[in-house]
Amino acid sequence: MTATVTAPPPAHLRQGLIAQNPSILWFLAILAAFCFGVTFLAEATGTGALSTSMVKTLGKTLCLCLVALAMDVVWGYCGILSLGHMAFFGLGGYAIGMWLMYARTEIIVVQSLAEATLPPTAAEIRDGIATQIFGVVGGNEFPAVWAFAHSLPLQLAMVVLVPGLLALVFGWLAFRSRVTGVYLSILTQAMTLALSLYLFQNDSGLRGNNGLSGLQNIPGLAAMGQDVIAIAFFWASALALALGYLLFAWVVSGKMGSVIRAIRDDEARVRFLGYHVESYKLFVFTLTAVVSGIAGALYYPQAGIINPAELAPIASIYLAVWVAIGGRGRLYGAVIGAAVVSLLSSWFTGGGAPDVNLGFYTVQWTDWWLVLLGVSFVLVTLFAPKGLGGLIDLIAERRAPQRVGDYGPDRSALRREEGPPQGGEQ
């Protein structure tokens, strides 16, 4: 990388970030329009056409889009099919949930102790909080992992550090011993399973399968209604998504982006060219894990509850499903996939979809949605490997029929065995 480059870099690398990725502007514009639209329709700030729970669902969807973005970068661009990013997402949620639960319980305990004859000591308050939080798993003392739960800044640091460090250590171990491809997927899945099994234990210190609850009540903001909090978190999620999009667009463009994509396409060749493949992979893996943790920290205050089932391996597989359906290897594809599939999923399973009467059998979508999802997933994998994002290419093609070369950065997401890419770049 430090090699002396005498010739100027190719034209497309000298352009700015936006010029390289015109989709950024489109994306930001659409996101902004969406946000203002929702704000205009929300209960707290607008006409009230959108219920508070709907605003929360949309805010949560934005967080899912952010974690899908991270998944797309690590899988669609770097070729690491990680089945652990929902675990990082959950860890971020747990990290912020610990503070939310601690601080809120503290307010309740202090209030109840204030009526006592003697002013409470610090130890009494702490014991009271511990009994409140851990009574459900038969404990009354704080485990070591709660050491920083009293402090918002420290716990916010945990949101970044816990998933980041886990990803760093795990990635270092895995990439160092050159575990790749399918093996790496299975290994990340094993890590996720181990984590969720650990959290399921009552003595894990995180309330076992009860998880953390009451996270929607933000301490210190009790006076504010849930409708206001919902729109605030919606905007925070949108902001995080926009920043995440910019960050990842920057990561996958330019020279580093080229190396990352080259690793996906032929890891050995990149290594022979003198790049330290492991460092690139570790960087991408850890960065995406951190972003996943941040997404989780924004998601769970809106969801209100987190439990170890949210970290189960199946959640991470669904994440891969969203990205694949949306179209991996392009950032907006991941966003489209996560938004469409998760919203459709909650529409179908929430009983929103009308039943279909076939005469001899009534299809109830709560029962058949997963069958439909499974089938459509197989169909997308087989017949539309570009996913929903591929539709954008059709529009682009219509607008510029004479264009030579490939659309978007995603064409090489498909393995070369599927046939040579059409057009340039050969």
Q: How far is CA 250 from the centre of its chain?
A: 18
Q: How many residues in the shown chain lie near other proteins by CB under 8 A?
A: 55
Between 176 and 403, name the residue whose CB sits nearer to other proteins: 176
Options 128-136, 199-207, 217-225, 388-396: segment touching other proteins (CB under 8 A): 199-207
Query: Strands 305-306 and 212-213, how do they pair?
Result: antiparallel
| By CB under 8 A, residue 3 contacts other proteins | no
Report the distance separating Cα 251 and Cα 235, nearest Å. 24
Report the distance separating Cα 346 and Cα 304, nearest Å. 17
Options 11-19, 250-258, 273-281, 414-422: segment touching other proteins (CB under 8 A): 414-422
We find the least distance from the C-beta atom of residue 419 to other proteins, in angstroms, to be 10
In this chain, which of 370, 394, 395, 396 binds other proteins, going by CB under 8 A? Answer: 370
| By CB under 8 A, residue 189 contacts other proteins | yes
In this chain, which of 139, 219, 377, 421 binds other proteins, going by CB under 8 A? Answer: 377
Residue type at position 292: S
> 60 to 99, contacts with other proteins by CB under 8 A?
81
Q: Helices 52-71 and 331-349 sit at what angle, rounded to 10 degrees?
A: 140
| By CB under 8 A, residue 111 contacts other proteins | no
We find the least distance from the C-beta atom of residue 189 to other proteins, in angstroms, to be 6
In this chain, which of 13, 190, 273, 396 binds other proteins, going by CB under 8 A? Answer: 190
* Helical (H) or strand (E) element with 357: strand 356-357
> 293 to 322, contacts with other proteins by CB under 8 A?
313-314, 317, 320-321
> 119 to 158, contacts with other proteins by CB under 8 A?
119-123
We find the least distance from the C-beta atom of residue 274 to other proteins, in angstroms, to be 22
Query: Strands 362-363 and 356-357, how do they pair?
Result: antiparallel
We find the least distance from the C-beta atom of residue 345 to other proteins, in angstroms, to be 11
What residues pair up with 212 in beta bridges, in sequence order? 306
**362 phi and psi, to 5 degrees?**
-100, 120
Coil, strand, or helix at residue 213? Answer: strand
Options 27-35, 285-293, 366-374, 403-411: segment touching other proteins (CB under 8 A): 366-374
For 397-411, letters b (16+ CB in 10 Å) and e give eeeeeeeeeebbbbb
Report the distance separating Cα 316 and Cα 409, nearest Å. 24
Show the tokens assigned to 238: 């949108």
| By CB under 8 A, residue 358 contacts other proteins | no
| By CB under 8 A, residue 255 contacts other proteins | no
The Cα-based distances of 137 to 54, 105, 309 in angstroms read 33, 16, 17
Show the tokens assigned to 155: 């716990």
| By CB under 8 A, residue 187 contacts other proteins | yes
In this chain, which of 70, 206, 295, 324 binds other proteins, going by CB under 8 A? Answer: 324
| By CB under 8 A, residue 191 contacts other proteins | yes
Coil, strand, or helix at residue 243? Answer: helix
Binding site for other proteins (CB under 8 A): 81, 117-123, 170, 173-174, 176-179, 181-183, 185-187, 189-191, 193-194, 197-198, 200-201, 203, 313-314, 317, 320-321, 324, 367-371, 373-378, 381-382, 385, 414-415, 417-418
